[in-house]
Chain A
Amino acid sequence: MVPKKLFCLSLALSSAFLFGCGQGGTPSVKIGLNAELTGEMPAVGASAKNAAELFVSQINEAGGIEVGEQKLPMELVVGDNGAKADQAAAVAQRLISQENVLVMAGPDASACAIPASEIAESLKCPMISPWSTNPKTTVDSTTGKPKNYVFRACFTDIFEARVLAKFVLNTLNAKTAAALYDVASEAPNAQATLFKEVFEKNGGRMVAFETYTTGDRDFSAQLTKIKAANPEVIFLPTYYNDVPLVIEQAHRLGITAQFVGSDAWSSPEILKLGGAHLEGSYFCNHYSTEIATPVAREFMKAYKDRFGQDPDDVAALTYDAFGLITQAVTRAGKLDREAVRNALASIQKYEGVTGTMQFQPGSGDPIKSAVMLQIKDGKFDWVANAEP
């Protein structure tokens, strides 16, 4: 019901735009957003949509986006993928073939971004996922070669797992760890496996490696097993709405190990749901509001003024994805998918909210850095920067 409503709404909005532009006789730059507005992670979809709307309204207030000789208005077409893989692919198909967008931003969850990227690749439409960290989003899993038209604005799971494993070994000085993750979810699955690999290669020992399935809320059996293995650190690469449940149950069982998580923790919703149980936990993230550059500070202020809350990393990365798209379209100088794709791939240095980035040669993965945060007094506290 909800998806359909939003779908109609976005259709109505986009047709209103179409007519508006048609009368003026100038074309617009249509950018699609494939977002998780409903379903398992509505906070992710809301952040993506907010940031995209903020960017589009800012650029249109400034006269539009520079393409060749003229400045054109940017137009946003939003589709709701319901945080489901099949719906994400269908939305991608619709945005690219029917709405005829120049570039598609999103989806954010890897489980959605991977199927959507297959569609974008086959239809030769550039796509940027702001937040999907799974290697398979930009790499063809059958050939092992990078996809041509798929980019991302964030670092990858491989990079993140390396940062986290080193942090646990070197900064926390822990030699034993356990992991608990959702085996049915792409990103947590990849992060847990990669973490184990890097952690063990560098002298750590995984004493327990436990899984659950999406929708589970009882983790007592797994946690009792982890407690018996007595790890110093419990790695929890799960989404923000599962984390509070796990940690609260762990505390009730008398577990006192240090919890460490991934960027899937970064929604401020986690603080509302988890409360005091989260205090002291660490996680890896794309940016921190505390060490913000002037570009980031400006974005944070505009976002807070408009939506009344601090932007999370999904918002920041979506904003950066739109920044990258804008720079690529201007450099391409024409409304042509192939030209935009080439311009995107050859961006030298983009100064974004989440740091400077450029794409690795022949790949859709950017070169950038990560931050480690700690939850302290109900806030995300910056701890350290981690370079690739």
Chain B
Amino acid sequence: MIPAVVADFAGTLPDWGVYLAQQSVNALQLGSIYALIALGYSMVYGVLVMINFAHGDLFMLGAFACMLLVAALPWHLPFVVVLLMVMLIIGLLGVLIERIAYRPLRGGPRVSAVITALGCGLIIENLTLVKFPYSQHMPTDLFVSTSFRFAGVTISTLQLLIIGVSAILMVALDFLIQKTRYGMAMRAISFDAGTVPLMGIPANRIISLTFFVGAALGGAAGMLYGLAYPVIAPSMGILVGWKAFIAAVIGGIGSIRGAVLGGFLLGAVEVMVVAYLPSTYRDLISYSLLLIILIFKPYGLLGSPPNVKV
């Protein structure tokens, strides 16, 4: 009944070392997921200077989409195929939301767009709640996790999967943004949104692409999160969404590498506060620390002040 630790490698570290290494693995897992979600906030902010508060709910839909896909499809699909399908579905949903809810407001006051985003999030959440009033369990056969011990540290294959998939997605994103023409166009829009269309770049298409990629990463994060914490509910996106947003701000919103750094930093702070201090103080201490960072770096760790145009 209790999945046993299957294998034992490489002796063991001293107790404090095992403990620190174990908590570091925990932090890495949590940080990967925060980073994946934070990327979505940061990318959208980068191109539109807008905070997409529906992002946490797209994350939630990632988990539900995975559950529904596995239940609906008759074949036993490998993990990677399900992941790609979830990313495609949630990515298209992100594009759709931008098209019907945000684009008509693009010239309007910025606060309207933020409120619209919050509204979209609430609509998604409550629609899901109507369909799934009870918490659901993620499919168990999609990825069967086993645990092994390495130098005294217990690591599950699921943890490796989450950390590995997140890393691959982040490297792929970095490639897309730094090395391709689309990425160059995204960077151009975030640098100067007014001039870019004059240069013949289809700004709307690039914005749609940004939403697609951001939402797809959010969906992937939702699916990985659902596998790690397999009881899923329509409200699961709220808290995680806020935390990832904070991670994006700490890293410097608009900065891609900043979002990743912020995600891992938040994961590490949350885990390490619990590891070495009473867990009741976790949120108090971790968010005070993050506030202090913002006092010294108001634009976040890797963020830059907005361009001042003459």
Task: Spell out A's residues near B (CB within 8 Å).
Answer: 1-2, 38, 40, 42-43, 183, 210-213, 215-218, 220-222, 224-225, 227-228, 241-242, 244-245, 248-249, 251-254, 256, 269, 272-273, 275-277, 279-280
Give CA–CA (A279, B1) in the complex, Å. 7
Q: Which of A217, A225, A241 contacts B274 (CB 8 A)?
A: A225
Quote the shortest CB–CB distance from A215 to chain B (angstroms). 4
Give CA–CA (A43, B136) in the complex, Å. 12
Give CA–CA (A275, B141) in the complex, Å. 13
- Closest 5 A/B residue pairs (Cβ): A221-B274, A217-B229, A220-B26, A215-B239, A221-B271
- 15 further A-B pairs in the complex, CB-CB below 8 A; given A42-B134, A218-B229: A2-B126, A2-B129, A42-B133, A183-B280, A215-B236, A215-B239, A217-B231, A221-B27, A221-B270, A221-B271, A228-B15, A241-B135, A253-B22, A254-B149, A277-B1
In contact, A38 and B135 (Cβ under 8 angstroms): no
Give CA–CA (A2, B22) in the complex, Å. 42
Quote the shortest CB–CB distance from B67 to chain A (angstroms). 13
The reply to whether the CB of B116 lies closer than 8 angstroms to some CB of chain A is no
Q: Contacts of A276 on B, CB cut-off 8 Å?
A: 1
Q: Contacts of A183 on B, CB cut-off 8 Å?
A: 280
Would you list which residues of chain B between 1 and 54 have a CB under 8 Å from chain A? 1-3, 5, 15, 19, 22-23, 26-27, 29-30
Q: Which of A210, A220, A228 contacts B29 (CB 8 A)?
A: A220
Knowing A224-B23, A276-B1, the reply to whether A216 touches B154 (Cβ < 8 A) is: no
Q: Can you give 9 contacting A-B residue pairs, CB < 8 Å?
A: A38-B129, A215-B236, A220-B271, A224-B275, A228-B15, A252-B156, A253-B154, A277-B1, A280-B1
Give CA–CA (A211, B228) in the complex, Å. 20
Give CA–CA (A43, B283) in the complex, Å. 29
**A-contact bits for B268-299, CB 8 A (1 contact / 0 none):** 00111011000110110000000000000000
Quote the shortest CB–CB distance from B139 to chain A (angstroms). 12
Which of A40, A216, A256, A280: most chain B Cβ within 10 A? A216
Q: Contacts of B270 on A, CB cut-off 8 Å?
A: 221
Quote the shortest CB–CB distance from A150 to chain B (angstroms). 29
Find the B residue at minimum CB distance from A228.
B19
Task: Spell out B's residues near A (CB within 8 Å).
Answer: 1-3, 5, 15, 19, 22-23, 26-27, 29-30, 126, 129-130, 133-135, 137, 140, 145, 147, 149, 154, 156, 158-159, 225, 228-231, 233, 235-236, 238-240, 270-272, 274-275, 279-280, 282-283
In contact, A245 and B230 (Cβ under 8 angstroms): yes
Q: Contacts of A225 on B, CB cut-off 8 Å?
A: 274-275, 279
Q: Contacts of B126 on A, CB cut-off 8 Å?
A: 1-2
Knowing A212-B279, A220-B30, A254-B149, the reply to whether A245 touches B229 (Cβ < 8 A) is: yes
Give CA–CA (A242, B135) in the complex, Å. 10
Q: Contacts of A279 on B, CB cut-off 8 Å?
A: 1
Quote the shortest CB–CB distance from B279 to chain A (angstroms). 5
Q: Which of A227, A228, A241, A280 contacts B231 (CB 8 A)?
A: A241
In contact, B145 and A273 (Cβ under 8 angstroms): no
Give CA–CA (A222, B274) in the complex, Å. 6
In contact, B279 and A269 (Cβ under 8 angstroms): no
Which of A183, A212, A249, A253: most chain B Cβ within 10 A? A253
Find the A residue at minimum CB distance from B157.
A252
In contact, B23 and A221 (Cβ under 8 angstroms): yes
Give CA–CA (A277, B238) in the complex, Å. 27
In contact, B26 and A224 (Cβ under 8 angstroms): yes
Give CA–CA (A225, B280) in the complex, Å. 13
Find the B residue at minimum CB distance from A272.
B137
Knowing A218-B30, A245-B230, the reply to whether A256 touches B2 (Cβ < 8 A) is: yes
Give CA–CA (A252, B22) in the complex, Å. 12
Q: Which of B129, B145, B271 contacts A252 (CB 8 A)?
A: B145
Q: Which of B134, B149, B231 contacts A244 (CB 8 A)?
A: B231
In contact, A211 and B233 (Cβ under 8 angstroms): no
Give CA–CA (A216, B23) in the complex, Å. 17
Give CA–CA (A42, B134) in the complex, Å. 6
Give CA–CA (A307, B116) in the complex, Å. 40
In contact, A221 and B130 (Cβ under 8 angstroms): no
Give CA–CA (A222, B162) in the complex, Å. 20
Give CA–CA (A254, B154) in the complex, Å. 7
Give CA–CA (A248, B230) in the complex, Å. 9
Find the B residue at minimum CB distance from A269.
B134
Find the B residue at minimum CB distance from A218.
B30
In contact, B140 and A275 (Cβ under 8 angstroms): yes
Find the A residue at minimum CB distance from B283.
A213
Quote the shortest CB–CB distance from A256 to chain B (angstroms). 6
Find the A residue at minimum CB distance from B33.
A218
Which of B135, B137, B158, B272: most chain A Cβ within 10 A? B135
Quote the shortest CB–CB distance from B274 to chain A (angstroms). 4
Q: Contacts of B130 on A, CB cut-off 8 Å?
A: 1-2
Q: Which of B145, B158, B229, B279 contacts A211 (CB 8 A)?
A: B279
In contact, A273 and B30 (Cβ under 8 angstroms): no
In contact, B19 and A224 (Cβ under 8 angstroms): yes
Give CA–CA (A234, B235) in the complex, Å. 27
Q: Contacts of A43 on B, CB cut-off 8 Å?
A: 134
Q: Contacts of A210 on B, CB cut-off 8 Å?
A: 274, 279
Which of A2, A43, A222, A254: most chain B Cβ within 10 A? A254
Knowing A38-B133, A252-B147, the reply to whether A215 touches B30 (Cβ < 8 A) is: no
In contact, A254 and B5 (Cβ under 8 angstroms): yes
Quote the shortest CB–CB distance from A82 to chain B (angstroms). 11
Quote the shortest CB–CB distance from B151 to chain A (angstroms). 14
Q: Contacts of B29 on A, CB cut-off 8 Å?
A: 218, 220
Quote the shortest CB–CB distance from A33 to chain B (angstroms). 18
Give CA–CA (A249, B229) in the complex, Å. 8
Quote the shortest CB–CB distance from A43 to chain B (angstroms). 6
Quote the shortest CB–CB distance from A35 to chain B (angstroms). 13
In contact, A221 and B275 (Cβ under 8 angstroms): yes
Give CA–CA (A209, B258) in the complex, Å. 35
Give CA–CA (A210, B271) in the complex, Å. 13
Which of B26, B129, B231: most chain A Cβ within 10 A? B231
Give CA–CA (A2, B123) in the complex, Å. 11
Give CA–CA (A218, B270) in the complex, Å. 10
Quote the shortest CB–CB distance from A205 to chain B (angstroms). 18
Give CA–CA (A38, B274) in the complex, Å. 32
